[in-house]
Chain A
């Protein structure tokens, strides 16, 4: 009963809770801006909406220094392996927010050139709807991500990320074995997943 003797000077908790508390309040965003959602994102970061209130002030344009990937805009099939590589290069643990309908589902671009949702190539934690979403919507999305981080266990997040690394290893293996470009391999992995009734390659 050491707790009673020490009164308020000591608090016991689970390791998961305290680590997640630190993680969720010091997110380091990496903006992957490809379209108009990136313009709304600028507004979100600027003084009127002031995203730094949520502990995610320090934008980093290097994946090595960030742990929250914000995908802001349309991602083409040619961009898909690039997105996978950027996600792979980010510091662990890492989270992904798909901002806007293009990143979430391809949006209005139902064409050969557009990836029909980034969740087909990288794991996504929060989807923010809108075309483009207002800054409030994006802030709400990140608040939902913070709640999600607060709930998860450390081992579950680790397993989640390692699953992606296995798919990346398979992609590289296929590239070597069949002599195809990374674009074509990702495209074929997506088509293969689609033919098997799935929607994702990771």
Chain B
């Protein structure tokens, strides 16, 4: 199991772990993230399938960036989660994995998490001057559209304007 080997090689890096039927997941500290990535790359996890994030909206840390890796030789999969506080930057993996380029741009676009060392950190899905980051929990679902929200009894428009200002 790759999780045991990470724990043996890099003691203290894994904050939390769980594995159920091939669903191997480790939560690692932000400071040791690159070490863990380099280690598992050597273990054969050489394809970065996806990068995504979760807005947990909890006081300790706001976001969790999630990396999905695949070992092409053994077909094993590994999920790495990294807690990221609001405003903090996450190191980019674009120099290690080509696929990190667009995946990190998407996370930046929708969550507003900056990736340090990314070659071209611009929006991927929304347009360049789009206000706000839509997958954040405090972004109104309808994007502040009056016509959209008036018939459900509550308008989020003023809130959205202040958020987008």
Contact = CB atoms under 8 A, between A and B. Distances in A.
Nearest to B152: A110
A21 interface: no
Contact of A113 (B128, B134, B144): B134
B139 interface: yes
A110 B142 contact: yes
Contacts of A181: 127-129
B140 A112 contact: yes
B157 interface: yes
B130 A184 contact: yes
B148 interface: yes
A183 interface: yes
Interface in A162-202: 180-181, 183-184, 190-191, 194-195, 199
B148 A183 contact: no
Contacts of A184: 127, 129-130
Interface of A: 77-78, 106, 110-113, 116, 120, 180-181, 183-184, 190-191, 194-195, 199
A120 B147 CA distance: 10
Interface string B124-140: 00111110001000011
A112 B141 contact: yes
B143 A111 contact: yes
Nearest to B144: A191
B143 A194 contact: no
B148 A110 contact: yes
Contact of A183 (B130, B142, B144, B146): B130
Contacts of B146: 191, 194-195
Contacts, number: 47
A170 B126 CA distance: 23
B145 A180 contact: no
Interface of B: 126-130, 134, 139-148, 157
B158 to A, nearest CB: 10
Nearest to B128: A181
A78 B126 contact: yes
9 A-B pairs with the lowest CB-CB distances in the bound complex, closest first = A112-B143, A194-B146, A183-B127, A194-B147, A184-B129, A112-B134, A181-B127, A116-B148, A181-B129
B143 A199 contact: no
Contact of B141 (A78, A111, A190, A194): A111
A181 B122 CA distance: 15
A187 B160 CA distance: 13
A120 B141 CA distance: 19
Contacts of B134: 112-113
Nearest to A199: B147
Contact of B147 (A77, A111, A116, A180): A116
A106 B129 CA distance: 23
Contacts of B157: 191, 194-195
A106 B146 CA distance: 14
A116 B129 CA distance: 20
